[in-house]
Structure 1
Amino acid sequence: MGWGYDRWVKVFGACALDCPDGCSWEVTVEGGVAVGMRGAKAHPVTRGALCVKVNRYLEQVNAADRIRYPMRRVGRKGEGRFERIEWDEALGEIAERLGGIVEEYGGEAIWPFPGTGNLGYIQGTEGFPVRRFFNVLGASLHDPTICSAAGSAGLKYTLGTAGGMDPEDFAHSGLVLLWGTNPLTSGHHIWKFIQDSGAYTVAIDPVRSRTAERCDEHLAPLPGTDAALALGLMNVIVTRGAHDAGYLAEKTVGWYEFRSRIMEFTPDRVAGITGLPVERIVELGERIARTRPTAIRASQGIQRHAGGGMALRTMACLPAVTGDWAIRGGGLHYSTSGHYQLDVPSLARFDLLPNPVRTLSQTRVGAGLLEASDPPVKALFVIAANPVGSNPEQRAVIEGLSREDLFTVVLEHFPTDTVDYADIVLPSTMQPEHTDFVAAYGNLYLAWNEKAVEPPGECLSTTETFRRLARRMGLTEPALYESDEDLLRTVLRGYDIDRLRTEGFLKIEPRPVPIEKINFISPLAERAGHDPLPGYTPPGDPGTGLILISAAPHYFLNTTFGSNPELRRRTGESRITIHPDDAAARDIAEGTPVLVANARGSFEAIAEVSDRVRPGVAATTKGRWAKFTNGATVNATIAERDSDFAGGAVFHDNRVEITPR
């Protein structure tokens, strides 16, 4: 893509950060330097607008603290002291250490740890292409459980797919439930389609977020009780005879049995579970009963508790009871990833594994590093991830990374908290510096990212890093040396890659939802040891104190941008919001420095006393770096414990006590 004068050109790009919108952008390059970036106006979702974070992306690319050269640790682990070394020296040391570990302990002693810092399918997204390298070594498998696993599993039990409605169809909704999501902070483009519809909007969230303040109505249930609320709303609908009997007879399995489950959750019972007034539950149930179509937007935060998978499984039943799955503008949207038919198996090449190997959970880093045996983890390869800043049980993560017998390599852009524990740090390219594509999980568009500029210093793409490392280790498997172009054509087999590259983005055809019929009774769930019927699983933290929610901040994205001076200034110091009643009981006033603690750990914050949270709940934000917050963040208090389905994380199933300090 290029036009204008000889001196400058515009290049299609795509945001690969962990956001549902997967925006398409245009980079203006002058004299080989990226001098401007804006959202692509022609993209039907981006519509020319990026977010407050990505508007500063070129500033991030050119930041003074960016890692530009390979480095070796010279201080103790955690000190963050390094010396610059040559690539040849870095690759040689890595090759020697990995080779020795494979020989002494076997390949499973190596843990490749890709994260979601880059959602490009070639340079990021769970490390599919570089998995080839680790498969040849026989390394342990990495299970990406930390983000959306529980909710996706729950939806598959009900719908046969985690893919839901087309988010652009929110423009045709009559009623929109924004359930446990704050799109004006995390994925704001869907708000435009909601506005286009003129629909009545209801925010269901324990916190009165930016989005909740813009909605027509806000309900604040206790965290982790969403499935009970969904059952209560269905109870109101069925009791009033507003269910779609025809749709239920033709398109569902197990309606009779599920109806009995629904009738157990009367508004009175649900009020006791959720902490909501009975009349509010009844009013919303009646509104859903008389409004067609109703659409639900739920995002990852809603499933980060003990019953998170069941919550999504049950919520997906609501549009079936009303028949809204059959109406444009009705249904549920959680993630569109289930609609893409990308050839990931050919990209990852798990057939290269010499033998079946063990799987290690992304959510359980501390346990994996401290407790895994036969063999123990002897090498950790972190790619586009920051487990010290992003994982539960921060103290255990740090303890594991502090092991002197653990060889840790980190591919990174910036000196994160995790980098401080690395033995070798390798500089990697950022989005304008390599070619890739993004498959948005908040819409149905593939977006192309063309290399626009050369990387600074000695930064290499992730794929090129592993091609060089494979060569240094003397590995002969031809798949390890395929070019990025070959990898792109492999994973995009079945899509028009030339059109995608020329036009910058391409809308895919969605798969049917449900795949066949709505499964109120799921034999698949039963075989996995779960209740065959959708239901309600209570929160799992039995402790006392306040329930702590740690949602996304407006100016950070996970821990990305955590070192950006301007975005840190806008975010301000670490704060925790508590209700006036809870503050008074603890002798806490507005602005009081407090300690937030439980048996797992603690962090410091400044109290904000506000009715933005309901009594019994406290709220803070994630994404801060420990090195900027006296060595600990909210993740110090969060349990390294699995949710109900697929080993998901439980960030919002967390009880703490808050005291003045």
Structure 2
Amino acid sequence: MRLAPGADLPVEVLERPDFPVNRGALCGKGRSAPALLARDVRLTGPLLRDRPGGPLRSAGWPEALDRVAAGLARVRAEHGPDAVGVFGGGGLTNEKAYLLGKFARVVLGTANIDYNGRFCMSSAAAAHRRAFGLDRGLPFPLADVPHTGCLILVGGNPAETMPPAIRYLRELRENGGKLIVVDPRRTRTAELADLHLQPRPGGDLALALGLLHLVIADGLVDQAFVAERTSGFERAREAAMAHWPDRVERITGVPAHRLREAAGLFGRAATGMVLTARGPEQQSKGTDTVGAWIDLCLATGKAGRPYSGYGCLTGQGNGQGGREHGQKADQLPGYRSIEDPAAREHVAAVWGVPAGSLPGPGKSAYELLDGLGRPGGVRALLLAGSNPAVSAPNAGHVTERLRALDLLVVADLVLSETARLADVVLPVTQWAEETGTTTNLEGRVILRRRAVDPPEGVRSELWVLRELAARLGVPDGFPADGFPVEAERVFDELRRASAGGDADYAGIDYARIAAEDGVFWPCPAPDHPGTPRLFLDRFATPDGRARFAAVTHRPAGEEPDAAYPLYLTTGRVLAQYQSGAQTRRVAELNSAAPGPYVELHPRLAARLGIADGEPVAVTSRRGRAVAPARVTEAIRPDTVFMPFHWAGAGRANSLTNPALDPVSRMPEFKLCAVRVEPLRSQQAGAEPAGADAGAQSAGSDTVGVDAAGSQPPGADAAGSEQAREETAA
């Protein structure tokens, strides 16, 4: 038994070295997660704001839910159902994600539901479906990775973002396989590579096309595979031949001889994989970029075969399952299209409503946030499991839109920066306090059982949605048995709703998941073995063939110029996670990564007169961020890097560009044009529009005292934590 630091109760941490994914290993974030169970860290009761701009105060659940239901009903009556929106998260269990989608479409009748996973894997998902007819993060188990001949990892740093998985890369090299890492920074993962390609941000598409050009020119195309199992190669070949090595070197900064080395390693290997992460995906051309890397796999016959294929590394705990069952604006459970009449009929029958009553597709995540409070946009928002005041691109602008809402309701376990803006805050259960399933990057559905009781004033989102549905006139269709039965009942309905869809869970139940250490979808029947490896016989397209993408390089949504001469790229660090709303409340993690920084090359630092550790200002067309300089040769001289986990003055997403991919609607987090200056050279008042919002705490004045003069439960710790962050920044 291990006692969570500062917690009220012990938490049993079981090591399962036989579990087939992490083999018993935990990263620091997982190991320290029990600290979030402490009462002085998390919310323990609902909070309400009685007037705009007034403080949050403690309230009981009946009052809080009545306020939410009345507000949602009022906005819907006055402005129509699409004026009410729902914004979810990729950390919610499958059960919560499913019920949130059902609540939006059946109870609220709104088209406007999306989730923060749109900021995570949507470009890879779009490219995967375009090429293969089906999207699953990995079409093979992680255990296959060490057995491939050559692996190209593009824009990912699992040594810091998912440390237990790094052993697979080490085993790959121990087995004689080659590892190629593509990243503008020399990360801890890149240090493991046989070959590190260091392109300019935004150069991934040209780089992939350059490698495809060389594979074709050097006669490394698997002609039999291309003829028998693919379509569209000729158009893709024509596009690739316009990206000869010297041209690609000029675009990417990667020397032509290194391109040739990489093409030879991958093209001549008997088996091979390409894995992408946020680097190539979080771009305004992310879908085409991933498509080009898939083309490289198809041309060399490295897809639909053992120990070969394209895959995507997920960025959130349930990034895969969270998008499969209804949180995305254009999807229904089972990965069904909301515009498919047959899909609508099937899901409506499970829900017991007419298919015609289901809304059509709504706005994607950033478009939804950008329209908050505007005419024709969402005026009341229910938000669960996300913190867009820190995590959204152009975050200063998004914070202003959140403030413009008639009603903002946030369900979370801590008083995040977004929760501080809310009219109603609902404290909800977290990992150890709830039963539910998640789906990992392999498509393996995993069961997580409740280990401890939540504090008395905390409820599950499943309970919250049921209570709100009843208040809004839909008393049926939402489970009422209480934990853990309600979660299993929701999952059983999810199975029926997903049956026959791409992500078919019909043959999966709680007992089977527990007995088999997870079950891979698609699994259409109880006697079906599940599908650990996709596409071995055919791809999921109508004709069974994988489709090449004929794509060409194009510039990013924003390129450096005289006013903003540098690239900014953003990412994660080992000891923090996503918006930091949870990890910034864990002392062990804060001691390892106490605040934001700006990483820049020594040559750039010398040219700008910046010393290591000196505060610098990074400015884009959208805002400004301030953080200490970290001078390192691990980054390109034309590029600076900031982690995005912090609020306040060091908020990296005050700078980022919301330019959207035309297919996936993914914002361009991974690059924008900035200038960097020593803070001492900055003059007061010289900030661009939006910088004021970026430099301020999101709602730092919104937590007050209740009528009795005491802080709301959980708010004191959250407030002091925020104050410490602002002081540090």
The 8 Å contact of residues 599 and 642 in structure 2, kept in 1 or not, is answered as yes
Structure 2 residue identity aligned to 1:499: R
Pairing 1:458–2:429 present: no
Q: Secondary structure at the match of 1:511?
A: coil
Q: Distance in 1 between matches of 2:58 and 2:617?
A: 39
Q: Distance in 2 between matches of 1:351 and 1:622?
A: 44
Match of 1:497 in 2: 510
Match of 2:131 in 1: 158
Q: How does 1:385-464 map to 2 (within 5 A)?
A: 385-403=386-404, 406-441=406-441, 443-464=442-463
Structure 2 residue identity aligned to 1:360: K
TM-score, normalization: structure 1? 0.87
Go from structure 1 to structure 2 and tell me whether the alpha carbon gap of 1:419 and 1:551 turns closer, same or farther (over 3 Å shift): same
Shift of 1:481: 5.4
Go from structure 1 to structure 2 and tell me whether the alpha carbon gap of 1:581 and 1:447 turns closer, same or farther (over 3 Å shift): same
Q: How does 1:200-215 map to 2 (within 5 A)?
A: 200-215=178-193
Go from structure 1 to structure 2 and tell me whether the alpha carbon gap of 1:597 and 1:175 turns closer, same or farther (over 3 Å shift): same
Can you give the 5+ residue segments of structure 1 that lack an aligned partner in the other structure?
1-7, 9-25, 522-532
Structure 2 residue identity aligned to 1:488: F
Match of 1:108 among 74, 82, 96: 82
Match of 1:5 in 2: none
Q: Secondary structure at the match of 1:57?
A: helix
Structure 1 residue identity aligned to 2:162: G
Match of 2:101 in 1: 131
Match of 1:120 among 72, 79, 93: 93
Match of 2:526 in 1: none
Q: Distance in 1 between matches of 2:569 and 2:29?
A: 22
The 8 Å contact of residues 304 and 651 in structure 1, kept in 2 or not, is answered as yes
Shift of 1:159: 2.1
Match of 1:82 among 33, 37, 56: 56
The 8 Å contact of residues 580 and 611 in structure 1, kept in 2 or not, is answered as yes
Q: Distance in 2 between matches of 1:478 and 1:242?
A: 56
Q: Distance in 1 between matches of 2:149 and 2:621?
A: 46
Q: Distance in 2 between matches of 1:554 and 1:381?
A: 31
Pairing 1:519–2:547 present: yes
Q: Distance in 1 between matches of 2:591 and 2:37?
A: 19
Structure 1 residue identity aligned to 2:154: W
Q: Distance in 1 between matches of 2:358 and 2:334?
A: 22
The 8 Å contact of residues 573 and 606 in structure 1, kept in 2 or not, is answered as no
Structure 1 residue identity aligned to 2:386: A
Q: Distance in 2 between matches of 1:421 and 1:227?
A: 39
Shift of 1:327: 3.7
The 8 Å contact of residues 210 and 240 in structure 2, kept in 1 or not, is answered as yes
Q: Distance in 1 between matches of 2:45 and 2:243?
A: 59
Q: Secondary structure at the match of 1:380?
A: strand
Pairing 1:367–2:395 present: no
Shift of 1:431: 1.3
Q: Secondary structure at the match of 1:37?
A: coil
Q: Distance in 1 between matches of 2:645 and 2:15?
A: 24
Q: Distance in 2 between matches of 1:243 and 1:503?
A: 39
Q: How does 1:180-259 map to 2 (within 5 A)?
A: 180-197=155-172, 198=175, 199-259=177-237
Match of 1:276 among 243, 249, 254: 254
Pairing 1:141–2:117 present: no
Q: Secondary structure at the match of 1:201?
A: strand
Go from structure 1 to structure 2 and tell me whether the alpha carbon gap of 1:397 and 1:256 turns closer, same or farther (over 3 Å shift): closer
Q: Distance in 2 between matches of 1:434 and 1:251?
A: 44
The 8 Å contact of residues 436 and 488 in structure 2, kept in 1 or not, is answered as no
Q: Secondary structure at the match of 1:317?
A: helix
Pairing 1:660–2:678 present: yes
Q: Distance in 2 between matches of 1:43 and 1:550?
A: 32
Q: Distance in 2 between matches of 1:275 and 1:613?
A: 13
Moved more, 347-356 or 467-476: 347-356
Go from structure 1 to structure 2 and tell me whether the alpha carbon gap of 1:469 and 1:344 turns closer, same or farther (over 3 Å shift): farther
The 8 Å contact of residues 127 and 287 in structure 2, kept in 1 or not, is answered as yes
The 8 Å contact of residues 308 and 644 in structure 1, kept in 2 or not, is answered as no
Sequence identity (%): 25
Structure 2 residue identity aligned to 1:623: H
Per-residue CA shift, 1:368-400, capped at 9, x if unaligned? 1143x33x4221111001010110111111111
The 8 Å contact of residues 162 and 334 in structure 1, kept in 2 or not, is answered as no
Match of 2:285 in 1: 307
Match of 1:13 in 2: none
Match of 2:147 among 172, 187, 207: 172
The 8 Å contact of residues 298 and 548 in structure 2, kept in 1 or not, is answered as no
Q: Distance in 1 between matches of 2:154 and 2:37?
A: 34
Shift of 1:543: 4.1
Structure 2 residue identity aligned to 1:173: T
Shift of 1:292: 1.8
Q: Secondary structure at the match of 1:324?
A: coil
Q: Distance in 2 between matches of 1:407 and 1:156?
A: 36
Q: Secondary structure at the match of 1:556?
A: coil
Structure 1 residue identity aligned to 2:623: G
Q: How does 1:256-335 map to 2 (within 5 A)?
A: 256-334=234-312
The 8 Å contact of residues 541 and 655 in structure 1, kept in 2 or not, is answered as yes
Match of 1:16 in 2: none
Match of 1:561 in 2: 583
The 8 Å contact of residues 596 and 644 in structure 2, kept in 1 or not, is answered as no
Q: Distance in 1 between matches of 2:46 and 2:409?
A: 11
Q: Distance in 2 between matches of 1:449 and 1:469?
A: 26
Match of 1:379 in 2: 380
Q: Distance in 2 between matches of 1:458 and 1:416?
A: 18
Per-residue CA shift, 1:106-135, capped at 9, x if unaligned? 22111111122x241013xxx321232222
The 8 Å contact of residues 154 and 279 in structure 2, kept in 1 or not, is answered as no
Shift of 1:259: 1.8
Q: Distance in 2 between matches of 1:319 and 1:437?
A: 32
Go from structure 1 to structure 2 and tell me whether the alpha carbon gap of 1:149 and 1:444 turns closer, same or farther (over 3 Å shift): closer
Shift of 1:575: 0.7
The 8 Å contact of residues 34 and 452 in structure 1, kept in 2 or not, is answered as no
Moved more, 330-339 or 165-174: 330-339
Q: Secondary structure at the match of 2:238?
A: helix
Q: Secondary structure at the match of 2:454?
A: coil
Match of 1:529 in 2: none
Shift of 1:643: 1.7
Shift of 1:588: 1.1
Go from structure 1 to structure 2 and tell me whether the alpha carbon gap of 1:504 and 1:236 turns closer, same or farther (over 3 Å shift): closer
Structure 2 residue identity aligned to 1:433: E
Shift of 1:444: 3.7
The 8 Å contact of residues 560 and 566 in structure 2, kept in 1 or not, is answered as no
Q: Distance in 1 between matches of 2:11 and 2:114?
A: 39
Q: Distance in 1 between matches of 2:208 and 2:633?
A: 24
Q: Distance in 1 between matches of 2:132 and 2:181?
A: 24
Go from structure 1 to structure 2 and tell me whether the alpha carbon gap of 1:231 and 1:474 turns closer, same or farther (over 3 Å shift): closer
Shift of 1:146: 1.8
Aligned length: 610
Q: Secondary structure at the match of 1:611?
A: coil
Pairing 1:58–2:34 present: yes
The 8 Å contact of residues 388 and 398 in structure 1, kept in 2 or not, is answered as yes
Match of 1:3 in 2: none
Q: Distance in 2 between matches of 1:351 and 1:649?
A: 35
Moved more, 186-195 or 646-655: 186-195
Q: Distance in 2 between matches of 1:357 and 1:325?
A: 34
Q: Distance in 1 between matches of 2:120 and 2:517?
A: 27
Shift of 1:366: 4.4
